[in-house]
Amino acid sequence: MKAMILEEQNSPLVLKDVPKPQIKADQLLIKVKACAICRTDLHIIEGDLKNPKLPLILGHQIVGVIEEMDEKVSGFKIGDRIGVPWLGNTCHHCEYCLEDKENLCDSAKFTGYDIDGGLAEYTTCDYQFAYKLPKEFEDEKVAPLLCAGLIGYRSYKKTEAKKTIGMYGFGVAAHILTQLAVYQKKEVYAFTREGDKKGQEFAKILGAVWAGDTDTIFEEKLDAAIIFAPVGDLVPKALKSLKKGGKIICAGIHMSDIPSFPYKDLWGERVIESVANLTREDGEEFLELAKKANIETKINLYPLEKTNKAIEDFRSGKLEGAAVIKIGN
């Protein structure tokens, strides 16, 4: 099969012919239809996330069709269309797994990091971590829901569905979650990089009540804030706009250092919390909500051999919506 391979960090991916993967116990063999690019992919390529499996097939927002499966698999059949997310496997027996916190499992394995992912014609996954996908969504448009949507949803849940929510960094996750928030009658304030008029207009089209630069401060206006951009100095800025008792959710797997700030900005039982990975329950909840809310993802399509171009366009921050690699027919 053809696959885009990361041979070493801080290098472009290389298109190669490699052996088609063979299923192991509990696994599905998937003919890949689409795979979306994620900021986590950039963090792996650029070395922000250390020690990936190398050589590596990146990609953890995978949509495909089951072509073969292990005899122990239940709940799926050949030909089912499924989605494969970042969380690829857990131990099932540690304290976190037993407390329904499998996203914190110390032995977890991640798709496109520890496990070869979806920037290839075929991939495998543990059936217990795959999702059946709503028929309402096209292959390319459902792919970004499998990480940007899922991590965004976990972050959104942690705000405890407050009325007024600030979203800092209006990329793929924010454009998906804004639609859910508006559907649930929340007020969204969209904070973008300075001068990003196009992004601000896009946020307003999606239903944000306000959109502007990240330097804007609303004194004690926001019930909660989600920081999607991997920029630590957004935390003190968001604190200044947060009501007492409000929460800031840091949604990324990697963030630059948070600078110091006066304690008075945190005082008043304000909370700063991170999000780590996702649970299978998050995925099941979100995909059902995405269908009800009729969430529409804006996408930019690329063929497999143009994956490096997709990554560069995504890195530039100029794309409106998600970069999605279309694979096969």
Summarised one tens digit per residue, pLDDT across range 65-121 is 999 999 999 999 999 999 999 999 999 999 999 999 999 999 999 999 999 999 999
Tell me which fold the domain 2-146+298-326 belongs to.
Quinone Oxidoreductase; Chain A, domain 1 (3.90.180)
Domain ranges of the chain: 2-146+298-326, 150-274
In CATH, what class is 150-274? alpha beta
pLDDT in tens, 14-31: 999 999 999 999 999 999
Strand positions, DSSP E, the chain: 2-6, 14-17, 27-36, 56-57, 62-69, 81-84, 87-89, 109-110, 122-126, 131-132, 164-168, 187-192, 210-213, 222-227, 242-250, 271-274, 299-303, 322-326
pTM of the predicted protein model? 0.92
pLDDT in tens, 145-187: 999 999 999 999 999 867 999 999 998 999 999 999 999 999 9
According to DSSP, the residues that pair with 115 across neighbouring strands are 111
